Amino acid sequence: MKVQTLVRSFPSKTVLTVFLLLVVLIRVLAGGAEEEDWPCWRGPNGDGVSRETDWNPEALSAGARVLWTTDIGRGYSNIAIKNDLLFTMGSLEGIDHVLCLNAETGEEIWRHSLEMFSFFGPQATPASDGTNVYALATDGTLLCLKAKNGKVLWSKHLVDDFDAREPQYGFTASPILEGNLLLLNANSRMLALDRNAGTLTWSVEDEAPGESMGTYSTGVVAEIDGKRCALLLGTTALHVVEVETGDELWTFEHGDGKHPVADPMVKGNRVLLSLAHSCLMLELSESGVRDLWRSSDLNTMLAPPLCLDAHLYGTHWPADVFVSSWSWDWMLRLDWPFRCVNWETGDVMWEKTMESTAVTAAGEMLMILELGGTLHIVEASPDSFRERSSTDVLSGRKAKRLFATPPVLLEGKIYCRNYNGELVCIDVSE
């Protein structure tokens, strides 16, 4: 009664203000901070690790609780989610598009036609700051679009405007947002653009040989020796550039000119490069770059590995496996070693025979998606492979399967993209 009398004595606006402040205070005390978005390729830190904790690793035990499935078209582009808007790219009806969906329902909000067709479909993943979304087409067309309606704010072309050389399989490296800059690994040039205007701020040349098939690796931004650095993996060299100035701080010729795909991985002042023929650990310091160890036990030709608690997890491409012609059907018939490798030494801790996989992590769990569409939740342990639950993402449906894109976990939902068009949203909430 005392509380009721007190509240009634306040003006209505004051009551509303007090109520809202109480709600905010309760959420803070309860730890109910706003959920983290997944605004770009491999998440907010570019490492494929989600900070989410409110989800259930056992959720797949009784099969996939599919919330929705929608057709986003053919392609390898992953999803980015910002403010409940989901952005991706796909080839629909023979035309490549940038798509915006409602992340909760899968309902399409808008699509923007790129007015082009790419053989493999779009491969880069959009990035969004909530106001705008940045998307790179396979031919090098770079767009800045309004997030809420897809209106084009500016457009550039990596070849025509910045003299980049197109890789053999087209541009696949995803854009990175860093402050007011948009960072891009544009194969023969590493670019930093003003993200509001698309104008060049700085660039670094990569001296790739003419016969090179190009680089397909997305850059990573990290703090190294007190400086914010962009790590960009070229065909023959790793370039470490200070973001603010564009000064190249370190260059390391890795000597593996096949065609880098996996992104660099950074932990402190150490950088892991997982390449076609070797895996190597580098240490960056004022005296230069030191090669700490090299191994042929975690060579990556497709999706990048990830690091949790000083251990690496990913699919190894054995050196004796030779592909004379690219065939995913051939890939699906093979067994591959999924490995846990010690970050400090390069030693293999264990391996599990699986299809080729794409991996994401959250907490102490790995989300491992096989090419054929089986999703596994596995403990990230250096001791052994310990599965908590698994399911067929397509629930046994007869469909052509090619899940080459890493799964994404956000707000108790795992999103899995099939190259042939299905985007599946699975409920793994507690």
pLDDT for 165-185, tens place per residue?
A: 999 899 999 999 999 999 999
Q: Which amino acid type is present at position 146?
A: K
Q: Residue 45 pLDDT > 80, yes or no?
A: yes
In terms of Cβ atoms closer than 10 Å to its own Cβ (0-12, 13-18, 19+), residue 280 is: buried
Helices then strands (H, E): number in the chain? 4, 33
Other C-beta atoms closer than 10 Å to the C-beta of 417 total 28
More confident call, 144 vs 254: 144
Q: Residue 314 pLDDT > 70, yes or no?
A: yes
Q: Which amino acid type is present at position 417?
A: R
* Structural domains in the chain plus CATH codes: 1-33 (no CATH), 34-427 (2.130.10.10)
| Longest pairwise C-alpha distance within the chain | 83
44-48, 132-136, 212-216, 401-405: segment of lowest average pLDDT = 212-216
Per-residue confidence (pLDDT) for residue 277, from 0 to 100 = 79
Q: What are phi and psi of 328, to 5 degrees?
A: -70, -30
**In the chain, % of residues over pLDDT 90:** 75
**In the chain, % of residues over pLDDT 70:** 89
249-263, 316-330, 406-420: segment of lowest average pLDDT = 316-330
Q: Per-residue pLDDT tens for 86-128?
A: 999 999 999 999 999 999 999 999 999 998 888 889 999 999 9
Q: Quick one: pLDDT band at residue 213, thresholds 50, 70, 90?
A: confident
Sign of the CA dihedral with 92 first, then 98, 103, and 109 last: negative
Other C-beta atoms closer than 10 Å to the C-beta of 366 total 28
Q: Quick one: pLDDT band at residue 428, thresholds 50, 70, 90?
A: very high
How far from the centroid of its chain's Cα atoms is residue 65's Cα?
A: 24
Distance CA 428, CA 430 (A): 7
Tokens standing for residue 312? 């690496």
Distance CA 13, CA 343 (A): 57
Per-residue confidence (pLDDT) for residue 304, from 0 to 100 = 83
Q: Quick one: pLDDT band at residue 33, thresholds 50, 70, 90?
A: very low
Q: Residue 246 pLDDT > 90, yes or no?
A: yes
CB 149 within 8 A of CB 131: no
Q: Per-residue pLDDT tens for 224-237?
A: 999 999 999 998 89
pTM: 0.90
CA proximity to 155, closest of 170, 141, 175: 141
Per-residue confidence (pLDDT) for residue 366, from 0 to 100 = 98
Q: What are phi and psi of 239, to 5 degrees?
A: -110, 125
Burial letters 88-115, b for 16+ CB under 10 A, else e: bbbbbeeebbbbbbebeebeeebbbebe
Helix (H) or strand (E) holding 128: strand 127-128
Q: What are phi and psi of 23, to 5 degrees?
A: -60, -45
CB 319 within 8 A of CB 279: no
Is 403 in a helix, a strand, or coil? coil
CA proximity to 46, closest of 164, 171, 217, 287: 217
Per-residue confidence (pLDDT) for residue 175, from 0 to 100 = 98
Point out which residues pair with 92 in neighbouring strands.
Answer: 95
| Alpha-carbon torsion, ordered 427, 428, 429, 430, to 10 deg | 140
Tokens standing for residue 188? 């023969």
Per-residue confidence (pLDDT) for residue 151, from 0 to 100 = 98
Per DSSP, 320 falls in state: T
Q: Residue 59 pLDDT > 60, yes or no?
A: yes
Contacts of 46 (CB under 8 A, 6+ apart): 40, 176, 218, 220, 221, 263
Per-residue confidence (pLDDT) for residue 332, from 0 to 100 = 75
Give CA separation, 215 vs 4, 88, 232, 250, 407, in Å: 67, 21, 10, 19, 23
Per-residue confidence (pLDDT) for residue 35, from 0 to 100 = 53
Mean pLDDT over 389-394 rounds to 97
